[in-house]
Amino acid sequence: YYHKATRMHGATGENLLRLLESRLDNIVFRMGFAMTRAHARQLVHHNHFLVNGKKVNVPSYQVKVGDSVELREKSRQIPNIQLAWNMAGSGGAAEWVTRNVEGFSATLDRLPEVEEIKIPIKENLIVEFYSR
């Protein structure tokens, strides 16, 4: 991800964070389908999601702005997913996604700004480490 971030326009650290935030497992977590990133990764790997109507089971898949992520019909009755989805409906989902509650789907509206990412991280230290 670092090498891809260095080739993009803008600050490398911010680009790196945006690339990591657009991974499918992270998007599933941010949209409110899972309680943790590890849970989201497992759900993606077990074929519970469609991206733009197609099965995707690769957690590192890069979701693009405008892509729709939908929970498969057979997975909608899983209690852990329902609990996470309902909790996200009460304020737990990210601001940069639009959720369709009835359709168990969400759309990535935009990539987040660095200030919106609520992880205490100093991306400049990561860039400094990988630039050696």
List the CATH number of the domain containing 92: 3.10.290.10
Domain count, the chain: 1
Indicate the burial class of 94 (C-beta count within 10 angstroms; 0-12, 13-18, 19 or more).
buried
Q: Which of 14, 46, 48 is nearest to 31 (CA)?
A: 48
**What is d(CA 2, CA 74) in angstroms, rounded to the nearest whole number?**
37
Containing structural domain, residue 44: 2-130
pLDDT in the model for residue 42: 95
Q: What is the pLDDT along the chain (132 residues), one digit of tens a residue?
A: 777 877 888 877 788 888 888 899 999 998 888 889 999 999 999 999 999 999 999 999 999 999 999 999 999 999 988 888 888 765 656 778 888 888 889 898 988 887 777 777 777 777 777 777
